C-alpha cells in the first residue's frame, strides 16, 4: 500500500468516526435551537456550511450568532473526535467565509506534528494561499481540554436559578477556558453589575416582544401543539427546553402571532411578559468581548472560546443561559459596548449559576449531511 493510499484510508476513518459520534457533537448550541449547520464530505475533508432557512435575519441581522454557533459546532466536533474513545483524531477547521455559497470552512485531519492552537494559518501547507486565513486547531498543551462526555452533557438551562457565583469570581474561574489563540487576540470576559443586568434584560425583552418582526421570528421557532398544525420535534424551543408548562408556551406563541400582536401591545400584555421574563434572578451575567470589527472567520473561531467557557462552567457545577437579546437591541448593546475595554465590542452575553434541577436535552436534527 502506498503512502498516499494510507493517508486516504486514515482520512476515511476519521470521517467514519465523525458520522458515528454525531449524537455527541450535535449538542453544540445555537440561537433558538435553529441548528443552522450543514456538513458535506469533500474527499478527505468535510465542508461546513449553513442553511439560510435556519438563520435569524431579524434578531441576528449581522450574522454574529450564526458565526458563533458554527464555531461552537466545529469545536464540539474537534473535542469529541480528539477523545481516544472516538478516534483520537487531531482536526483543524480552516475558516473561509463564503456568504453567497453558504460555506464557512473546511474540516480536516491534521498531519502528525501539525500546528496546535494556531489561528493564523502558520505551518499549514495552504495557509499562504488565503490572506488572513484563520485556522482553528487542537488546544495547546496545558489548555483546558473538555472531554467528549462533557460536550454530550452540555445543556442550556432557561429556568430558575437558586444561587450563583459572584461575577468577579466567575470571570476568574472561567478565564482559564479561553484558548491561547483567543487570549493572544485579546478575547476577555466582563461581569455586569447585577442591578444593571436586571434592568438591561427587562429593556431588551420588552423591545423584542413589542417588535412585530422579532416577535414573529421567535414564534416561528416555538414548538407547541395545536390541532391545526404539525409539531416539529427535532429543532426549536419546546416547553421542555423553556422549562415552562406546555400551555404557557402555547399562550406565548398565540400572543406573539402577527394577528394578535398589535392588540397585545396596546393592552401592555407584552410589557407584562417582559417583566416576568426578566425578573431578578441569582447568577452572574458575563460578557464575552473581543476586538471590534473581527472578520467573519475570526468571529467563527470565537465560537470555540464561547463553547469552552460554557463547558468549563459545567465543570464548576454552573448552568448557562445565553441572553443574546442584550446584543440584538441597540439600546442595551450600546450600554454593554461602553462597558467593555476601548477598541473592543461584546460578542456574547450569558448568565451562569446554580440552576434549580436539571434541564432536559433539547432536540437535535439528524439530516445535516449534504
Same domain, 54 and 144: yes
pLDDT value at residue 14: 96
* Beta strand extents in 85-241 (DSSP E only): 91-98, 103-109, 134-136, 161-163, 188-192, 222-223, 237-238
Residues 138 and 233 in one domain: no
Q: What are the φ/ψ torsions at residue 165 (nearest 5 degrees)?
A: -75, 155
Instruction: Please tell me whether residue 100 adopts helix, strand or coil conformation.
Output: coil
Are 46 and 174 found together in one domain?
no
Q: 319 with 172, same domain? A: yes
- Are residues 278 and 308 located together in one domain of the fold? yes
Residue 126 lies in a domain: no
At 278, the pLDDT band (50, 70, 90 cuts) reads low
Is there a domain that residue 3 lies in?
no
Which pLDDT does position 279 carry in this prediction?
59
Of the three residues 97, 124, 152, the one that is the final residue of a domain is 152
- The DSSP string of 271-310 is HHHHHHHT---SSEEEEEEEESS--HHHHHHHHHHHHHHH
Confidence of residue 249 (pLDDT cuts 50, 70, 90): confident
188-241: pLDDT as tens digits: 999 999 889 989 998 999 999 999 999 999 999 998 765 445 566 799 999 888
Q: What are phi and psi of 130, to 5 degrees?
A: -125, 105
Residues 209 and 97 in one domain: no
Compute CA 357 distance to the chain's CA centroid, rounded to the nearest angstrom: 22
Residue 209 inside a domain? The answer is: yes
Helix, strand or coil for residue 161?
Answer: strand
What does the block give as the cell for 7? 493517508
Same domain, 55 and 186: no
Q: 174 and 96 in one domain?
A: no
Q: Please check whether residues 189 and 73 belong to one and the same domain.
A: no
Average pLDDT over residues 285-311: 97
The CATH number for 292's domain is: 3.40.109.10
Q: How many domains in the chain?
A: 2
φ/ψ region of 177 (left if φ > 0, alpha if ψ in -120 to 50, else beta) reads: alpha
Is residue 24 domain-shared with residue 53, that is, in the same domain? yes
Q: Give the model's pLDDT for residue 125.
A: 34
Same domain, 165 and 224: yes
Domain span at 75: 14-112+132-152
Query: What's the average model confidence in pLDDT over 329-344?
Result: 97
CATH of the domain at 143: 3.40.109
Q: Which pLDDT does position 306 carry in this prediction?
A: 97
Residues 225 and 163 in one domain: yes
pLDDT of 1 strictly over 50: no
Amino acid at each position: 500500500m502506498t503512502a498516499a493510499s494510507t493517508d486516504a484510508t486514515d482520512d476515511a476513518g476519521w470521517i467514519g468516526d465523525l458520522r458515528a459520534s454525531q449524537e455527541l457533537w450535535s449538542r453544540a448550541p445555537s440561537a433558538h435551537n435553529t441548528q443552522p449547520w450543514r456538513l458535506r464530505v469533500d474527499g478527505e475533508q468535510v465542508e461546513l456550511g449553513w442553511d439560510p432557512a435556519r438563520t435569524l435575519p431579524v434578531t441576528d441581522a449581522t450574522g454574529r450568532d450564526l458565526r458563533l454557533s458554527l464555531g461552537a459546532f466545529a469545536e464540539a466536533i474537534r473535542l469529541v473526535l480528539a477523545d481516544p474513545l472516538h478516534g483520537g483524531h487531531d482536526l483543524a477547521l480552516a475558516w473561509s467565509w463564503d456568504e453567497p455559497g453558504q460555506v464557512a470552512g473546511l474540516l480536516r485531519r491534521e498531519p502528525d506534528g501539525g500546528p496546535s492552537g494556531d489561528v493564523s494559518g502558520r505551518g499549514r501547507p495552504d495557509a499562504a494561499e488565503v490572506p488572513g486565513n484563520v485556522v482553528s486547531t487542537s488546544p495547546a498543551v496545558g489548555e483546558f481540554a473538555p472531554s467528549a462526555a462533557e460536550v454530550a452533557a452540555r445543556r442550556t438551562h432557561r429556568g430558575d436559578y437558586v444561587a450563583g457565583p459572584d461575577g468577579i469570581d466567575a470571570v476568574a474561574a472561567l478565564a482559564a477556558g479561553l484558548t491561547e489563540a483567543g487570549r493572544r487576540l485579546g478575547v476577555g470576559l466582563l461581569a455586569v453589575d447585577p442591578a444593571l443586568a436586571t434592568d438591561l434584560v427587562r429593556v431588551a425583552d420588552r423591545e423584542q416582544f413589542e417588535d412585530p418582526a422579532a416577535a414573529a421570528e421567535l414564534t416561528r421557532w416555538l414548538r407547541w401543539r395545536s390541532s391545526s398544525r404539525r409539531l416539529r420535534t427535532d429543532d426549536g424551543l419546546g416547553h421542555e427546553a423553556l422549562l415552562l408548562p406546555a400551555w404557557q408556551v402555547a399562550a406565548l406563541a398565540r400572543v406573539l402571532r402577527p394577528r394578535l400582536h398589535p392588540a397585545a401591545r396596546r393592552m401592555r400584555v407584552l410589557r407584562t411578559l417582559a417583566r416576568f421574563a426578566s425578573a431578578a434572578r441569582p447568577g452572574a451575567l458575563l460578557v464575552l468581548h473581543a476586538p471590534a470589527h473581527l472578520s467573519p472567520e475570526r468571529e467563527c473561531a470565537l465560537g470555540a472560546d464561547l463553547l469552552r467557557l460554557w463547558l468549563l462552567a459545567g465543570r464548576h457545577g454552573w448552568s448557562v443561559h445565553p441572553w443574546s437579546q442584550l446584543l440584538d437591541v441597540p439600546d442595551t448593546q450600546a450600554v454593554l459596548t461602553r462597558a467593555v475595554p476601548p477598541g473592543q465590542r461584546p460578542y456574547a452575553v450569558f448568565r451562569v449559576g446554580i440552576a434549580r434541577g436539571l434541564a432536559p436535552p433539547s432536540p437535535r436534527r439528524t439530516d445535516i449531511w449534504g
